[in-house]
């Protein structure tokens, strides 16, 4: 009977060790999952920031092209008016 109780005690101890190890693995997995989720949130925020910067830059370029086009168009119109005045003698 002594050998049987020793075996039972050893099995209980091994069971306890396995549970402790499993708890540790689950804890580490939870930590890694939380770290990965935080990293994904940071990457998503960085992506949104880059997209906003690209939109702002595109908008600035579009406005510059519009103003440049209007300025050169106005200049061309004034040149045409000046040529017409010369030909018409005005």
Residues 6 or more apart from 84 whose CB is under 8 A from it?
Answer: 90
Residue with tokens 């579009």: 62
pLDDT score recorded for residue 26: 97
Gyration radius of the chain over CA positions: 39
The DSSP H or E segment spanning 68 is helix 2-88
Task: Quote the pTM value.
Answer: 0.56
Category of 89 on φ-ψ map: left (φ > 0), alpha (ψ -120 to 50) or beta: left
Joined together, the tokens standing for residue 1 give 């009977």
Residues 6 or more apart from 90 whose CB is under 8 A from it?
Answer: 84
Residue 65 CA to residue 70 CA, distance in Å, equals 8
Tens of pLDDT, residue by residue over 31-89, are: 999 999 999 999 999 999 999 999 999 988 888 887 777 677 667 777 778 888 888 87
């Amino acid at each position: 009977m002594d050998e049987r109780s020793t075996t039972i005690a050893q099995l209980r101890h091994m069971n306890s060790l396995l549970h402790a190890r499993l708890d540790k693995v689950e804890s580490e997995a939870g930590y890694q999952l939380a770290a990965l989720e935080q990293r994904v949130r940071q990457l998503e925020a960085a992506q949104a920031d880059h997209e906003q910067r690209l939109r702002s830059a595109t908008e600035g370029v579009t406005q510059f092209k519009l103003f440049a086009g209007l300025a050169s168009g106005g200049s061309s119109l004034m040149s045409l008016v000046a040529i017409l005045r010369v030909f018409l003698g005005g």
